[in-house]
């Protein structure tokens, strides 16, 4: 038999336990009421800019492989988005110049190849141009700025993109200058506008800023060698 003091202790302990359990339940309910779920809007337009899709999708892949490595494409009846080498977009460290024309079909394999006749280049089997240096090593690439990103099957476009990876060349500043020179030649030949990575008018200040980025890459390379 319990004495009065022991009974009171048991009753008070039980009440405290019930209060504690009820407090936990209330806390869980309160926390649950603040949970929110971010849903993807299924009505979002699917025709996003090719270059933006390419940039967003790169970080989901492994940054490995080399420029000569061929992509494995799954069979499809439709033209798929260009499948570029993994190291093409290393963590947004690329220097990109866009070019746009008011004419919808001004840029094509034939029209661009005719301008590049005096410059060493190859046309990759995946549908974009690779400009070469004097040693026939890749310098930068010229792509269709719109989906599907290629110039295969007589595709033409109003936009092209010049893509330069300063990590892939021995002299980033020289490579960037070569890309700027050819971009300006094509711009004058087609009467098209030079744009920056965000498709704003490319100013001298922005061009100089991009060149400084190339200089920084070159400085880092020299520091590593030293």
- Read off the pLDDT of residues 25-72 as tens digits, 9 standing for 90 and up: 665 554 444 333 333 343 344 344 555 554 554 444 434 344 333 333
Do the domain assignments include residue 8?
Answer: no
Overall domain count for the chain: 1
CA distance 98 to 121: 19
Do the domain assignments include residue 181?
Answer: yes
Residue numbers of the domain that contains 56? 50-61+81-225
Do the domain assignments include residue 104?
Answer: yes
Whether the model clears a pTM of 0.75, i.e. scores above it, the answer is: no
Q: Where is pLDDT greater, at 129 or 62?
A: 129
- Identify the CA nearest to 214 among candidates 148, 164, 145: 164
pLDDT at residue number 29: 55
Q: How many residues does the chain have?
A: 226
Do the domain assignments include residue 118?
Answer: yes
Read off the CATH number of the domain in which 104 is found: 3.30.1400.10
- For helices 172-190 and 204-225, the axis angle rounded to 10 degrees is 150
Token pair belonging to 194: 């030079």
What is the residue whose two structure tokens read 């060493």? 120
CA distance 186 to 192: 8
CA distance 82 to 18: 64
In the chain, the DSSP E strands lie at 95-100, 121-123, 129-132, 138-144, 159-164, 193-195
CA distance 201 to 199: 7
User: In this structure, what are the phi and psi dihedrals at residue 96, rounded to the nearest 5 degrees?
Assistant: -125, 130
Token pair belonging to 151: 């110039």
195 strand-pairing partners: 98, 201
- Read off the pLDDT of residues 89-99 as tens digits, 9 standing for 90 and up: 444 589 999 99
Q: Where is pLDDT greater, at 164 or 4?
A: 164
- Identify the CA nearest to 112 among candidates 148, 144, 79: 144
In contact, 158 and 101? CB cutoff 8 Å: yes
Do the domain assignments include residue 183?
Answer: yes
In contact, 226 and 130? CB cutoff 8 Å: no
The separation between the first and the last C-alpha atoms of the chain, rounded to the nearest angstrom, is 88
Token pair belonging to 165: 């990876």
**How far, in Å, are 72, 85, 109, 162, 214 from residue 95 at the CA level?**
26, 16, 23, 8, 8
Residue 131, pLDDT > 50, answer yes
Do the domain assignments include residue 34?
Answer: no
Do the domain assignments include residue 56?
Answer: yes
User: In this structure, what are the phi and psi dihedrals at residue 38, rounded to the nearest 5 degrees?
Assistant: -90, 115
Do the domain assignments include residue 36?
Answer: no
Token pair belonging to 188: 């004058």
Residue 15, pLDDT > 80, answer no
């Amino acid at each position: 038999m319990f004495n009065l003091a022991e009974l009171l202790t048991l009753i008070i302990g039980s009440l405290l336990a019930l209060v504690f359990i009820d407090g936990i339940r209330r806390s869980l309910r309160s926390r649950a009421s603040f949970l929110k779920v971010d849903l993807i809007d299924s009505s979002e337009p699917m025709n996003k800019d090719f270059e933006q899709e390419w940039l967003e999708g790169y970080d989901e892949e492994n940054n490995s492989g080399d420029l000569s490595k061929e992509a494995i494409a799954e069979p499809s009846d439709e033209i798929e988005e260009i499948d570029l080498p993994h190291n093409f977009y290393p963590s947004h460290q690329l220097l990109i110049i866009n070019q746009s024309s008011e004419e919808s079909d001004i840029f094509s394999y034939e029209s661009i190849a005719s301008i590049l006749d005096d410059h060493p280049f190859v046309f990759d089997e995946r549908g974009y141009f690779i400009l070469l240096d004097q040693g026939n090593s890749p310098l930068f690439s010229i792509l269709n700025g719109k989906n599907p990103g290629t110039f295969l099957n007589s595709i033409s476009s109003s936009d092209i993109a010049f893509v330069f990876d300063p990590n892939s060349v021995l002299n980033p500043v020289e490579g960037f200058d070569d890309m700027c020179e050819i971009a300006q030649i094509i711009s004058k030949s087609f009467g098209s506008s030079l744009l920056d990575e965000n498709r704003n008018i490319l100013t001298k200040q922005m061009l100089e800023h991009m060149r400084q980025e190339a200089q920084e890459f070159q400085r880092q390379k020299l520091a590593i060698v030293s």
